[in-house]
């Protein structure tokens, strides 16, 4: 799944809990649950320039939305913790791309992929689900 829905779910979790020891593990756990749902995703095995461009847009959008949602909020630190905790399980993709799949990361990548929905999902239904996740996160944040 793209980083933006992961980050917003993490932020939504942070709006519902006020303890770091609850927010960080729940946000990390949400990452693997969301990855197991059928969704459209970038090819992380054979990364093209288009994939890098879309990833940069995705991360930029996540940072932009997190900034808007947390701006002036007294719980901004917890919200950023939730957003980052929910996103960090995908950091291995960046490290794999930059350092050509270091050995230590291969084990983690295998574990991560074990929870990842493995079948191809077409773009429109796969993105629609991610937009739905984003909208539900915004609803939870407003509670």
Q: How far apart are CA 33 and CA 115, in angstroms?
A: 8
Q: Which stretch binds Zn ion (CB under 5 A): 45-53, 72-80, 82-90, 131-139?
A: 82-90
**Dihedral (CA of 10, 17, 23, 112) sign:** negative
Total binding residues for Zn ion by CB under 5 A? 2
Among 12, 26, 27, 35, binds Zn ion (CB under 5 A): 35
Residue 58 in contact with Zn ion, rule: CB under 5 A: no
- List the one residue out of 13, 24, 8, 7 whose CA is nearest residue 90: 7
Residue 90 in contact with Zn ion, rule: CB under 5 A: yes
Asked if residue 3 lies in contact with residue 88, where contact means CB atoms within 8 angstroms, the answer is no
| Shortest Å, Cβ 34 to Zn ion | 8
Binding residues for Zn ion, per CB under 5 A? 35, 90
């Amino acid at each position: 799944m793209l980083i933006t829905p992961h980050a917003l779910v993490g932020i939504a979790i942070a709006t519902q809990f006020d303890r770091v020891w609850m927010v960080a593990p729940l946000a990390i756990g949400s990452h693997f649950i969301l990855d197991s749902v059928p969704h459209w995703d970038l090819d992380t095995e054979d990364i093209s320039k288009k994939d890098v461009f879309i990833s940069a847009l995705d991360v930029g959008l996540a940072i932009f939305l997190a900034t808007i949602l947390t701006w002036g909020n007294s719980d901004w630190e917890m919200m950023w913790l939730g957003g980052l905790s929910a996103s960090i399980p995908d950091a291995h993709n960046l490290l794999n791309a930059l350092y050509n799949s270091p050995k230590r990361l291969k084990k983690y990548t295998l574990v991560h992929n074990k929870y990842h929905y493995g079948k191809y999902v077409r773009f429109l239904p796969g993105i629609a689900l991610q937009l739905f996740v984003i909208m539900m996160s915004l609803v939870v944040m407003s509670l």
